Structure 1
Amino acid sequence: MSAHDVDDIDWGAMVAQLELKAEVHEPYLRAAADWMRALLPADGRADGVGRVLDVGSGPGVITCLLARHFPSARVVAVDQSEPLLAHTRSRAEEQGIGGRVGVLRADLPEDLGALGTADVVWTSQTVHHVGDQQAALDGLAGVLRPGGLLAVAEGGLPPRYLPRDIGIGRPGLQARLNAAWEERFSQMRAGLPGSVDQVEDWPAMLARAGLVPTGSRTFLIEHTTPLDPRVREFLRVHLEHVLDTLGDVLDAEDRATVARLVDPDAPDGVLWRPDAFYLSASTVHTARVCP
């Protein structure tokens, strides 16, 4: 869910890509949900959680996971995209939890008042799409019930999936791609409506939102060689996105290298390379309302 250029995105066409990414990251998401349960009262039991919000829910992978981790709760997927919300409904029905999963079309920060109250709020890679990140956290903190928990997944480490020298193009491609992503991210932030420069000290920001920080944890996402075919396909789709997004800032040699990596018929493409892997880390910051 993003207030930035949403009208230019064909979310329906991105459902499969977003779902695949979430499924590749699901081991970390399960571990994060376990940790969130342990931060709640009653010796870590989540029986008292009646309503959970997944803000920026995408295709519903995390929404359904939260519904399984909080079995007494109604979990509401919040997103600005109707196609993504429709997919969430279908996914929940397929998993037999449709009766406990709802959807709400909303955008940040305009629709914060429509979220209602909740015992747990989860938001992943969404707040950085809002110009005033502190105001977004203030609004999310404001929907929490007494004792409620806010979990914000932001930051970590960029993914690595190739060795330094892959035998085609100049060595160090991965590092150059990551540097280009950082620059493009800064440009995106600067172009957001109402963009505010912010030192991204997330625990301090949560404290300024009136919450009591309860810790930050970084979760490793690791898929080793030989890669599962779905992880390989995720890498291929990811690199296609890299080519579309960063093609104008990469030099001709790097563009040609990425194009070869995404070619499904190239023997040294990511679908076939024996040295391809996936390693990343995601950080989750948590805070609670005083009971």
Structure 2
Amino acid sequence: MAHHPHEHRHQGEPAHDHEHHHDGGHRHGHHHDTDIDWAAMAPHLEAQAELFTPLYERALAWLGKEVTEPGLIVDAGSGPGVVSCLFAETFPGARVLAVDGSAPLLERAGERAARLGHADRFGTLTGELPDVLGELDYPADLLWAGRSLHHLGDQRAALTAFAERLAPGGTLAIMEGGLPSRFLPRDIGLGRPGLEARLDALQEQWFAQMRADLPGSVEVAEDWPALLASAGLKHTRSRSFLLDLPAPASDRARAYVTASLSRLRDVYGDTLDAEDRATLDRLLDPDDPAGVQHRPDVFVLAAHTVHTAVKPA
């Protein structure tokens, strides 16, 4: 699932930065994950993951150096399968299983895999994490959770459950944390400078409330290497990967920025002060020359962190 009000449990979350559950984008707008209509978000999740493909490709290339050729790769919280299919491409000898709570998203994942020629070694499993992993026929050689863990109430217990589903010598890789995304300069010539930093603060409040409202929510310090070690895993490593799409942004990047800022306005519109709300309205007005559809200074800059650890043989 995604990060803040954006991505759910897929690779790409939506709004700003805490996005992702599914592979490709998340963004939520409600306080309960169960309220999120992931299927309705599928196009946004896919668009985000596709835009972030260069970042994922670098992360997977790094994983490829860390991991011996896996037999089974499990994408836990796969969403519409953009990243699942990148795994199939990166590891041509592996079987890939996309796991998610949303059957409509997994249907899209299967269609994507077929379209890309991976259908013969691609499967899906529908159910809620982490319990659904008990249905695996074989342990995973590589289990990937791309911004899905933070949608689970007890993250420590979930990591332990993930570790239990690994083969001896298998790798658990989680994408959590990083930096808030940036789309605009600090001073855009509208309103007060620092709009995105103020939106970040609202997202942090949203994210804390989202976590608190999850069933079985347990507060835990987000020291991911320590949590991986507490799950019985060894050789923890962390590395961050950059998405750097400089100005002037492409149409696809502008569409992502527009969708992300629109979600932020929808979620936080009542919380923003009048000046910031008016600035967001202008940025999102397709007919305003100062809007993100037209202004030359729009970019996408994001950093996501991957933490890995290995199950003792």
TM-score, structure 1 length as denominator? Answer: 0.94
User: Which residue does 1:155 correspond to in 2?
Assistant: 177
1:92 to 100, 113, 122: 113
User: Which residue does 2:50 correspond to in 1?
Assistant: 23
Secondary structure at the aligned position of 2:277 is classed as: helix
1:264 aligns with 2:290: no
1:62 aligns with 2:83: yes
Secondary structure at the aligned position of 2:130 is classed as: coil
* Larger radius of gyration between Structure 1 and Structure 2: 1
Alignment: residue pair count: 285
Counterpart amino acid of 1:35? W
Which 10-residue stretch deviates more, 4-13 or 257-266? 4-13
1:72 aligns with 2:93: yes
Counterpart amino acid of 1:5? H
**Superposition pairs for residues 1-291 of structure 1, below 5 Å?**
1=1, 5-41=32-68, 46=69, 49-116=70-137, 117-291=139-313
Identity %: 52
Secondary structure at the aligned position of 1:184 is classed as: helix
TM superposition shift of 1:6: 4.4
Counterpart amino acid of 1:120? L
TM superposition shift of 1:166: 1.0
> Distance in 1 between the 2:114 and 2:63 partners?
25
Secondary structure at the aligned position of 1:167 is classed as: coil
Secondary structure at the aligned position of 1:63 is classed as: helix
TM-score, structure 2 length as denominator? Answer: 0.88
TM superposition shift of 1:213: 3.0
RMSD: 1.5
1:39–1:214 contact (8 Å) kept in structure 2: no
Counterpart amino acid of 1:272? H
TM superposition shift of 1:97: 1.0
1:203–1:213 contact (8 Å) kept in structure 2: no
TM superposition shift of 1:182: 0.8
TM superposition shift of 1:277: 1.0
TM superposition shift of 1:15: 1.0
> Distance in 1 between the 2:123 and 2:82 partners?
13
TM superposition shift of 1:110: 3.5
> Distance in 2 between the 1:259 and 1:174 partners?
14
2:229–2:236 contact (8 Å) kept in structure 1: no
1:106–1:114 contact (8 Å) kept in structure 2: no
> Distance in 2 between the 1:35 and 1:179 partners?
32
Q: What runs of 5+ residues in structure 1 fail to find an aligned partner?
A: none
Which 10-residue stretch deviates more, 190-199 or 134-143? 190-199
TM superposition shift of 1:8: 2.4
Secondary structure at the aligned position of 1:111 is classed as: helix
2:240–2:304 contact (8 Å) kept in structure 1: yes
Q: What runs of 5+ residues in structure 2 fail to find an aligned partner?
A: 2-8, 10-20, 22-30
> Distance in 2 between the 1:8 and 1:188 partners?
11
